[in-house]
Each structure stands twice: as C-alpha cells, then as structure tokens.
Structure 1
Amino acid sequence: MGVIKQMDTALANQIAAGEVVERPASVVKELCENAIDAQADHIQVEVKEAGIQQIIVIDNGHGMIEEDLHHSVLAHATSKIYSLSDLFQISSLGFRGEALASIASVAKVRMESTWNGDNQPAQSGHYIEVENSKLTKQGTCPPRNGTTVQVDSIFYNTPARLKHLASLQTEMRHILKVMQDLALAYPSISFTLIVDGDQILQTVGKGDLKQTIAQLYSPQQAREMLAFDVTDLEFSLKGLISPPTLTRTSRNYIHWIVNGRTVKSPFLTNVLTRAYGKQLMIGRFPISFIQISTDPRLVDVNVHPTKQTIRLSKEDELAKLLTQAVETTLRQNRVIPEAGTSLFKPSRPYQQNKGQLDGFSQSSYIQESNQPIHNGEQAKPSSALEANFEPTQTTRELTYPSDFSHSISESGEKEVFEQEEAKPIIDFSQLRYVGQIHGTYLVAEGPTSFYLIDQHAAQERIRYEKLMADQVDVTQQQDLLLPKLFSFDLKTAQLAQEYGDHLQEIGIILQPFGPRSYQMQSHPTWVEVDELDHLIPDLLDRLSRQDNLSVNELKETSIIMQSCRGAIKANHRLAEAEAIHLLAEMNDLDDPLHCPHGRPVFIEFDPTTIEKLFKRIQDHHLGGRAND
C-alpha cells in the first residue's frame, strides 16, 4: 500500500495559514484588503485583546450573494483572477484565494454579507459560521450593505502558535501599523479602529494625503512635508517627503505604495536616501509617503505570501525618475539659514574626567544601528581604526588612543603594539586656520601637513565627549514651570506605553495625558530640554528595534543623538573666529579621529602624500623619483 496520501482540507488550510496568518495583524490586513477590493469607502475595525480574543471588520462594499459567501472560505477560491494571464496583470490587493480559508482554519469565523451590486435594495443578507475549516451554521440576516467578518479566538486550535505570540502591546503595535499603512495608501477611504471599546484612530477619507498624515501623525508634521508629482512613459510618482530637518533614526517611516499596495523595497529606499545626499545626517532617514502607479504587467506581486515583497521591471528608469523628483523638490524648498545667528549651541563647562559610561562603548551602538553612510559604505565601529583613518608616513610619530596604538613600518604595513597611555595626536590649537570649503570642511595648516576637517563630525565629537564627561545621575531632575506636553502619533504613543519603564530608568518620566498625549513634570539634568521633542521618539524607536538595552546603553544612545543633532550641519558657513574656536576645542578630545558614529573627523595630507598625488614621487614598484 502506498504511503503518499492527499491531505484533508483542514490540514492543508492550516499549513497555508502558517504563511498567510502570522499574527492578529495579518487577519486585519487580509480582511481590510478584501474590503478595499469590494470598493468600500468606509472600513471599521474592532479588536479585543490585541485581536487575540476578537477581530471584527465592517465595510460598506458591494457585498456577496449567498453562493459567493459559501465559496469565499474555500481554499484557492477567488473572484480576482480566473486564468494564467490574469496572474501577470494583477490590479487587486487579494488574488490567491487563501486568506479567508486560512483564517477559518485557525479561528472561529462568522461572516455576514448583503449584495448591493444591482442598485436594488436587498430584502435580506446571508451569514455563515465556520470553525476548523468546516461550515457549522448558515442562514439569513437583516440586510446591511457590505460585509461584516467576525474572527474569534485566533489560534485556538494551534496552541503552539498562540503561545509564541508577542505581548499584547507588541501585537497591538503591529495592528496599528497595518491600519496606518492602509490609510496612507487609500486616503479616499475612511478608516476607523476601535480597541477594547475605545476609538483610537479615524481618518475622514476625503482623498487628501496631507490631511491623513495630520490625523495619523501630527498637523505640524503634515505642514512640513514637501509634495511632488512627476510622470514619465512608464511610471507616475506622487507623494510627500520630509525636509532634511525632519528625519528619523530608522527606515520604518519610509512608505512605498505601488499600485495601491503597501510594500517594502530596500532598492527604492536606498535610491531615496541617496537622492538626499549630504543633506541627511549619518544614521538619519527621511519620512516619506510615495505612491507609484504603473502598468500591472511591470509588477510581480506573486513573490511572497504576505504580498509585501514585489519585483519591478524597469527599475533603472524608476530610480532615475525618483531621484530627479526628490532632488528637484528639495532644491525648490531649500531652507536658507538666517544671517547673524550663531551656529554654536551653548554647552556645559568641560570637565577633565572624560571617559565612557561603565560597561559600554560607542562601538556597540554603531554595530547595532547598522546604518549606511551616504556613499553607500557602512559606518564602522570606532575601534576599527584602519577602516576609517589611513595614516600616512608621518603618522608613525603620532600616538593613537590607548586601546589602539598603531605604527607604520618602513614597508608601509601597520603594526599593533601593546596598549600604552594616550598622548595628544595633534596640537589643533597651533594649526593655522586657512578657510572653509563648500560650507562643510575646514582647512587647517600645520608645520609639516595640512588637514581637512569635517565640521559637523568635529563638533559632534566635542559635544559627545562633553556630555559623556558629566557623570550622569538619572535621579537629578530639573522641574519645569509648566508641564511639557507631547502629542505623539499612534505608533509612538503605543511605544511610550510599552517602553515607558525603560525611559524611567534614565530619568525620562512620561505621564499619560490623553489617548495620544503625554506630559512631563521634570526632565533629567543631563538632557537638554530643547532636545526632548526629538530625543524621546528616537529613543522609543530604538527600543522597538532593541528592547534589551541596558541603562548605560540607553544613556549613551541618547547622548549620541543629542550630540549629533546639536552639532553644526554641513553647508553652514562659519566665521573665522568660530572655526578657530572649533579647532581649539578639538585639542582636548580623547579621540579626535572619530565622531560618535565611527566616521573620520579629519584627514591629514603630508608632503609625501601630496608629492605622490602630483606624481613628484613615483610608486615604489616603479622606483626612483619623478623629474622636477
């Protein structure tokens, strides 16, 4: 007797559900996409216990007749495609016919629907109840335009998967992200989210993307966004991007919508960040909401069960159009600094007991962040000295920080010696300031070499070491005359609820003040008050990606963020006195070679290097010296 047997329907559906239904948010996504395909202009989602206990999705779409209602829960039953050719020109969100069958295999489902496609008032609707892929009840119900799907007790029959769900706060955060993504992709649809009886999200559905952003994030952020709308023969791009002054610490705020489908695209994200060029600080990413419309035949959405990964034809043409659109938009909305304003922010008096926080170094922050720099290279830890700073022949006489003392042999190879006490590398205060290049780099001349200094990286390092020199005491608080109010977007508010205890460990105490608002009565003395609006969302975003940070790691992370934002930006002209003061401050640094992210602060050009560049000295393998 053969051993190969066909699986029964329930088992096959549960296997498919493992790919389609990863968590309650997957159910919300699939049901809302069905509602969108049904031409609904209002979708209401109700969840209990982050969707684990119950999910209800109500839409006012065209509904289903009784026969289609029964067919909808069968595996691979769909109204979206009928032939192989349809698979290569998909214009709907759903098309595989797996979602409802998969959901019905791992939860208890009740569906009510009334067909309203004939423009005739329906006399009644119909309902079915399905459990473990089997129809348990059916009948008629009062007519109501559209479809209502109620999903109870998700994963009740697969306890192993139920056990491995995350906390309620984390599962709720995933649901919020799904709702936000759909609302941004379809601003003409009104979305409502009710959680445990409380309405926490509602969009008006008027078709205005900025209005939707104002409702989901904040009116201030919506006002700052820059709009563009461009078209070529193959693609139409329309959306909003943030100015370089409005950024985040991760790529999670970059939204791509291709033919109405929210997708992830590392390729497009890299194109976008490269288009910003040097206007973005290291480790910062823009906020964007970009809709791409193209012929469905140029898009392959049948790549992954979640349908969030796609393949695009003619990517080069799309990249060129996107780059031109972003560069033009930024150029037309360039902010010019006001004349006469000081580019230096006041800082605390410098203490001599400089050093890192116990048990943590900035290199671990850099390694975890894994953020690329603008030229496409990854930022390296500060300990990887040779990756960021190439010593020249004269560098043999310089002494590096105590943990990495290098020397250059006569053959040009680096040699690493035992640790020794750190000594000054260069007396920056004795350098002669020459001038500034492109509002970004300072030129300074020494007795035997000249130096190019990145002004942003230099002051970032100065601020970092000054802040690190202060022995941070999280118990020291500065009372505020009036409580400081924070109005967060839904995602950040959820993170504040989830990770509030982590922030308290470093002295940042947030008190709920409404559905999306928090207040602060005092702030830690080691945090600058004008940094709080940016620092707290950035820290919460970091915690969402790495929630096991120690107290010391959190403190250093916040200090790096403060030092980066407060430092001089590129393309800012410095007065001669300001530049000379910056050079003098560099003389007191423990590590003037690297900014807190690991990038080089300066590059040295000695006579040998210059002579090689001008071919006055030939390479060793050629021998001899070039003729004068």
Structure 2
Amino acid sequence: MLNIIQLLPDSIANQIAAGEVVQRPASVVKELLENSIDAKAKTVQIIIREAGKSLIQIIDDGIGMSETDARMSFERHATSKIRSSDDLFRIRTMGFRGEALASIAAIAQVELRTRRSEATRGDELGTLIRIEGSEIKSQESVSCLPGTNILVKNLFFNVPARRNFLKSNSVEMRHILDEFQRVALAHPDVAFSLYHNDSEVYNLQAGKLSRRIVDLFGKQYREQLAFCEEETPYVNVRGYIGKPEFARKTRGEQFFFVNSRFVKHNYLHHAVVGAYEGTIQEGFHPFYVLFIEIDPSHIDINIHPTKTEIKFDDERSVYAIVMAAVRKAVGVYNLTPSLDFDSNVNFLPVTPAPRRSSEGLGGSPAEPQNRSAPRPMNPVWANDRLEPKPASGLDFPRKSAANWQAMFEGLEKPETATEPVNLFETHEGPAETEALTLESRVNHLKTSPVWPETIGAVMQVQNRYLLTPVPAGLLVIDQRRAYERVLYDQYQAALTKRNGVSQQLLFPKTVSVMPVDYNLALELREDLTSLGFLFDEVGQNAFLIRGVPALSVGENEEELFANLLAQLREDTGRLKLERAEVLARSLARRSAVRQQKPLAEPEQKALVEQLIASTNASYTPNGEPITTVLTLDKLAGLFRS
C-alpha cells in the first residue's frame, strides 16, 4: 500500500496560515502597523485604496532592515523576538510569531522597500523586494529613505473565494478604522496619518494620551475624561474613564491594553461596569481607555492568532485592582458619594458589605459600606479562598408585595382631550419616578394576549406601563417597547415607499462625527433621506443637519443623528440583516427611548390601537416581549394569605 501522508508545499502552507492571520484588509493593517511600532517608528503613514482591497501602504521612519533581514522577514516563523522557549513568556513587543509577512505575501502582491537608519548602521542604499503569492519575483538595491515602505496590492488575488467573502468597502473600512484607532491609542507618542482614496481621514500628532483620545473621538470628549491610576506590586492600571452622564447604550468605545497591546476581556469589562454601580443605568456602557502593565511572565498572549485574547495567571486579583482603580477615579472626580479606599481589596478576601436599607439606594449613614470591594461578584467561601460567583445584574433591593398599591398613585383620570391625538408630540409632565417592576414568571410568558374587539379603559403606570383588561385577565404593555414596534413599522414603510416625512429645521445644526460614522452616513444617505434626514457635508467628518424625521421632532438633532450612526455601526456588525432593516431597527430603538412620558387618556388608547394594528404586537423587532397577561388566577393568588 502506498504512503498517503505528505508534506504540504510551502505555498499552500502559507495560504493556510494566511487564513488564520489575514481575515480581511484590516488584519493586514494591524500586522503592518505593529511591525512599524516594533521598529521604533515615530511617524507612520497609512495609505488605503478601496478599503484595502486594491492597496494597503504603510510608510514608517523606523530602524529599517538589512538586505538579509528583508529577505528573511518573508520566511515562515522567522522572527527577531524569540531565541528560546523562555522568551515566549517575556514578550513585550507587538509581533513575535513571524507569521505576518509570510502570510500576507502568500495571498497578495507585495513590494518592500527598506533601509537601515542612522540609529542602527545607516546604509547608503536600501533593499527592494517584490513577491507575489509567496514567490519572490525580484530583489535589488534601491535608493530610498531610512525606514520601511511596504505596499500590499490586490489582496486575495490568488484566492478568489476568499475575496468574494469580503464585505462592502464601507464595512471593510470600518474594520480598518477600528484597528487604526487601537494602535493609535496604544502609542500616543507616535504620529499617525491615514488616507483613504486620496482623502485625509486622520492626522494625529504625537502627544499625551488625553490629546490622542480627543483627536480620535472629538472635542466633546474633553469634558468627560477622568484620569484613572492604581499601582500595586502585581499590576499597574492607568488611563482615562468617562463620566457616568456620558455613558451610551452602544458599545465600541471601551479599550483595554495589556502591556500596550489591545485585548478583549469581558471579565475585566465586568469589573469596570461594576465600579460604576449606581451611577449609570443598566444597559449603558461607560467610555474607558485603560492600560494594564504587568510582568509578561504572568500572562499568556499566545492563545489566538490575532493576539487579542489573553490569559492572566491570577485573573481575580487583576479584576479587583481594575475595579478599585476605576472606583477610586469615580470618587476623586466627585462622580459618586464619598468612597472608602482605606481597605486593601486587591489580594485579600473581603466580606460582603451589609445590605442597604429598604429606603432606596442611599443606605443608612450609620451603616458603613466597603465600596472598594468588587460588588458585582457574590462572594462564597470555598477552600479558604474567596470564589467569585457572577451576579445576574446590579444588586438593587427588591420591592415587596406591600408596594403593590404604590403602582396606582397619581393615576387620577385626566381631563378629556379636545385636540387630535398625536402619539409623538412632546408633553411637559412631572419628573419620572422610580420605575417599579413586578417580578413574576408571568412576565416571561411567550403567549400572545387575546385582544378584545374594542379597547376599554387604559391606565398608565409610572410613565412606563399601560394596563387594560382583556378576556384572560389584565394586559400589561411595556410603553417604550410598544412605541418601538409602532415606530419600526412606520420607518419600514417609509424606507419601502421612499416617502418619509421630514421636518425642516429653522436653524440648521452642525454635527461632528467619527470618521467611521462619517463614511457610514455617506453610504446610507439615500436610506437616511427616505426616513426624513436632510444633511450636507460641511468639512472633514462634519455634517449640516437641515431636517429630521417628523416622528423625531423635539429631540436634540445633533445627538439624534450622531447617536443613530453609532447605533447603526454597532448593529451592522452584530446583526446579519439588510441595511434598511438595521436602519429601521436602530432609529426605532433610538427614538423610543424618549417615549417614557405621561400620556393623556386618548393617547394611551391610541397607542394600544396602533400596537394591535402593527405587524407583531407581541415582540419588538429585536425579539423583546412587549405584552404579558396577568391572568385572573394569578391576580387572585396575589391576595391569598
């Protein structure tokens, strides 16, 4: 029998490796930028065409390479960082595996010009190497500037199946901008410039981290930054956090860097959010850029091809230190009541803090509370160590059944309205009181209510719920979610018929957005116009808003437009839907947030009727339940002793 196992040719092996390292143009940008940083560059220029599909060019003023090193850099597993296995646990550079250039050259046409700078040996001539599909076409000496200039052309030219899986230029460019932002944040001492199709997107000067954040995300971030720092023998934490009032419902502006390398770490994100306990609403996400410095021997970064995942040898200690650092910053900048930082919670088990009093969230002055302890974790003792157990959410005190009657306070019957009912008209009403949620398994029923032929009396509770009788018992409607369903249907109709109504602004508003959102708005201009948005470009990453959807009148136009784009950016990457569908969902969710307000009796009834007439009265477009029924048996059970 013939032997059937054989070694793969280098060209095929490199293409397989490229499938792990180079997933899209943004992967190439990340790897080449990290190479420039490792080469001690102080100025880096990035030139992109067609979102990186036709050209990615990185020019730096780093130390450059010799002729031999330039040739060796394209060999698989060729690296200047590793000499022994022990070096794997002392990594402080960005690249170290020696896979990047070999993988890129396997699926693209590459030109490399490099010359050693005076900081090394200062060669008079540089080296030019041309490679296509792992095959070296030429190598020669050329005159060039010190540093490295690398061009990656026609990505996936020899793997058409991979190229067909690339998304639209706007989507791929957003991924490139994400990678660019991460590298630029990690190295504020390096000047970066980015050009796409001959247009300048970023021109970042070297400076402090705070300036880099403002240059990347906008001048409005000057007001929300709070410095954060904590030093311990095990790990140091520094960076900036955002003030609670600037927290957003969309994610994407949370950055962790471990030894200057961007990482994704849900466990540490939980620590940061826990430090904001009681200062931001549930479901909102604070801005933060946090740098963690730790001895490389305590971490393992060699667990994923993109090196964005990381393992600590003592994650719980890092968790506690990060939480303490953020909580300390929140207290120093008077963002919360005074905190107690005297106790050391970084490495020692902490007993649970006493429960707060039943009179709200403030607690009794006589009850000391250790706010430095990691509150989002419910401690349980096991084997003489503090074992954390993830909590289900913020630890708010439960309301007892004795508060049932509080639901119906202030529900005096309003006077009958004489004006036509407009569900989306802004009303000045009393300030919202604390919402009361009745926890019951009935709230999670998936059955649809049996709607009556005519809607009877409707009652509003805490500006949040609508109650109306149905044959099965009492129908409870989530007011915000009902608005979301009704608005979604109207926005969908406007996108389909291209007849959205716009409300012209008497005084047009100028709004500045992030470059990624600027490109997204231009791509979706036709759909946004169909909804009622009217806007013009007025400079780099800025728009002049001339009109907004009529259903959104009364909102802050700048915030509506900017936040919608941010919501779209997140939903586009998370939801596998058509652009129009994502746009309708995002705008409906964004506009429905402000609909927790007092409603006159005709408005309450009109909302219920519009909900019944909607395409799906039971669920929001995102699948959240809108209605639930408190059956007669359940209601009777509430009064049994």
How high is the TM-score relative to the length of structure 1? 0.72
Q: What is the rounded CA distance, in whole Å, between the counterparts of 1:55 and 1:390 in structure 2? A: 51
- For residue 37 of structure 1, report the CA deviation from its aligned partner: 0.7
Distance 1:152 1:349, change over 3 A: farther
Q: Secondary structure at the match of 1:519?
A: strand
Distance 1:529 1:114, change over 3 A: farther
Distance 1:74 1:272, change over 3 A: same
The reply on whether 1:80 has 2:105 as its aligned counterpart is: no
Residue 510 of structure 1 contacts residue 520 of structure 1 at CA under 8 Å; is this kept in 2?
Answer: yes
1:483 aligned residue: 508
1:224 aligned residue: 224
The reply on whether 1:106 has 2:131 as its aligned counterpart is: no
* Worse-matched range after superposition: 465-474 or 80-89: 465-474
Deviations 1:73-110 (A, max 9, x none): 00000001111111122111111100001111111111
- For residue 527 of structure 1, report the CA deviation from its aligned partner: 0.9
- For residue 251 of structure 1, report the CA deviation from its aligned partner: 2.3
Q: Secondary structure at the match of 1:286?
A: coil
2:200 aligned residue: 199
- For residue 302 of structure 1, report the CA deviation from its aligned partner: 0.8
Q: What is the rounded CA distance, in whole Å, between the counterparts of 2:305 and 2:167 in structure 1? A: 21
Q: Secondary structure at the match of 1:213?
A: helix
* Worse-matched range after superposition: 188-197 or 556-565: 556-565
Deviations 1:314-370 (A, max 9, x none): 11111112222222323343569xxxxxxxxxxx99966979xxxxxxxxxxxxxxx
Code of the aligned partner of 2:228: F
Code of the aligned partner of 1:50: A
The reply on whether 1:333 has 2:333 as its aligned counterpart is: yes
Q: What is the rounded CA distance, in whole Å, between the counterparts of 2:159 and 2:511 in structure 1? A: 41
The reply on whether 1:497 has 2:497 as its aligned counterpart is: no
Distance 1:554 1:38, change over 3 A: closer
Residue 244 of structure 2 contacts residue 335 of structure 2 at CA under 8 Å; is this kept in 1?
Answer: no
- For residue 563 of structure 1, report the CA deviation from its aligned partner: 4.0
Deviations 1:449-505 (A, max 9, x none): xxxx9xxx9885798799899999764322223322111111211221222233223
Distance 1:550 1:29, change over 3 A: closer
Distance 1:110 1:504, change over 3 A: same
Code of the aligned partner of 2:531: I
- For residue 513 of structure 1, report the CA deviation from its aligned partner: 2.1
Distance 1:33 1:561, change over 3 A: same
Q: What is the rounded CA distance, in whole Å, between the counterparts of 1:470 and 1:52 in structure 2? A: 38
Distance 1:274 1:606, change over 3 A: farther
Residue 354 of structure 1 contacts residue 466 of structure 1 at CA under 8 Å; is this kept in 2?
Answer: no
Deviations 1:248-271 (A, max 9, x none): 333222111111111111222222
How high is the TM-score relative to the length of structure 2? 0.71
Q: What is the rounded CA distance, in whole Å, between the counterparts of 1:211 and 1:48 in structure 2? A: 28
1:414 aligned residue: none
Residue 113 of structure 2 contacts residue 144 of structure 2 at CA under 8 Å; is this kept in 1?
Answer: no
- Give the alignment of 1:141-152 within 5 angstroms: 141-152=142-153
- For residue 312 of structure 1, report the CA deviation from its aligned partner: 2.0
Q: Secondary structure at the match of 1:277?
A: coil
Distance 1:499 1:386, change over 3 A: farther
Q: Secondary structure at the match of 1:290?
A: strand
Q: What is the rounded CA distance, in whole Å, between the counterparts of 1:7 and 1:556 in structure 2? A: 48
2:67 aligned residue: 66
Q: What is the rounded CA distance, in whole Å, between the counterparts of 2:418 and 2:179 in structure 1? A: 47
Unaligned runs of 5+ in 2: 337-416, 425-436, 466-475, 612-617
Unaligned runs of 5+ in 1: 337-347, 356-381, 392-400, 406-417, 434-439, 443-452, 569-580, 612-616, 618-628
Q: What is the rounded CA distance, in whole Å, between the counterparts of 1:197 and 1:283 in structure 2? A: 39
In the alignment, which of 564, 577, 582 is matched to residue 548 of structure 1?
A: 577
The reply on whether 1:53 has 2:54 as its aligned counterpart is: yes
- For residue 280 of structure 1, report the CA deviation from its aligned partner: 2.7
- For residue 305 of structure 1, report the CA deviation from its aligned partner: 0.8
Q: What is the rounded CA distance, in whole Å, between the counterparts of 1:563 and 1:62 in structure 2? A: 55
Q: What is the rounded CA distance, in whole Å, between the counterparts of 2:454 and 2:440 in structure 1? A: 17
- For residue 516 of structure 1, report the CA deviation from its aligned partner: 0.7
Residue 505 of structure 1 contacts residue 551 of structure 1 at CA under 8 Å; is this kept in 2?
Answer: no
Distance 1:30 1:476, change over 3 A: same
- Give the alignment of 1:306-455 within 5 angstroms: 306-334=306-334, 387=441, 389=443, 404-405=448-449, 419-420=451-452
The reply on whether 1:180 has 2:168 as its aligned counterpart is: no
Code of the aligned partner of 2:505: L
Deviations 1:552-581 (A, max 9, x none): 87556434423425758xxxxxxxxxxxx7
- For residue 294 of structure 1, report the CA deviation from its aligned partner: 0.8
Q: What is the rounded CA distance, in whole Å, between the counterparts of 2:489 and 2:422 in structure 1? A: 6
Q: What is the rounded CA distance, in whole Å, between the counterparts of 1:229 and 1:122 in structure 2? A: 43
1:564 aligned residue: 593
Residue 485 of structure 2 contacts residue 588 of structure 2 at CA under 8 Å; is this kept in 1?
Answer: no
Distance 1:503 1:586, change over 3 A: closer
Q: What is the rounded CA distance, in whole Å, between the counterparts of 1:96 and 1:350 in structure 2? A: 71
Deviations 1:416-442 (A, max 9, x none): xx554587798568xxx9xxxxxx999
Code of the aligned partner of 1:222: R
2:8 aligned residue: 7
* Worse-matched range after superposition: 7-16 or 558-567: 558-567
- Give the alignment of 1:161-172 within 5 angstroms: 161-172=162-173
Distance 1:466 1:50, change over 3 A: closer
Distance 1:215 1:482, change over 3 A: same
- For residue 389 of structure 1, report the CA deviation from its aligned partner: 3.6
Asked which structure has the greater RCO (Cα within 8 Å, sep 6+), the reply is 1
Q: Secondary structure at the match of 2:6?
A: coil
Code of the aligned partner of 2:587: S
Deviations 1:141-196 (A, max 9, x none): 22522111111121111111112211111111111111111111111111111112
Q: What is the rounded CA distance, in whole Å, between the counterparts of 1:103 and 1:465 in structure 2? A: 46
Q: Secondary structure at the match of 1:251?
A: coil
Distance 1:205 1:329, change over 3 A: same
Distance 1:234 1:351, change over 3 A: farther
Code of the aligned partner of 1:127: L
The reply on whether 1:286 has 2:315 as its aligned counterpart is: no
Q: Secondary structure at the match of 1:279?
A: coil
1:302 aligned residue: 302
Q: What is the rounded CA distance, in whole Å, between the counterparts of 1:550 and 1:133 in structure 2? A: 38
Q: Secondary structure at the match of 1:538?
A: helix
Residue 354 of structure 1 contacts residue 468 of structure 1 at CA under 8 Å; is this kept in 2?
Answer: no
Q: What is the rounded CA distance, in whole Å, between the counterparts of 1:153 and 1:469 in structure 2? A: 42
Distance 1:424 1:281, change over 3 A: farther
- For residue 33 of structure 1, report the CA deviation from its aligned partner: 0.4
- For residue 128 of structure 1, report the CA deviation from its aligned partner: 1.6
Q: What is the rounded CA distance, in whole Å, between the counterparts of 1:350 and 1:319 in structure 2? A: 57
Q: Provide the aligned C-alpha RMSD in A.
A: 4.1
Q: Secondary structure at the match of 2:551?
A: coil
Distance 1:95 1:552, change over 3 A: closer
Distance 1:90 1:171, change over 3 A: same
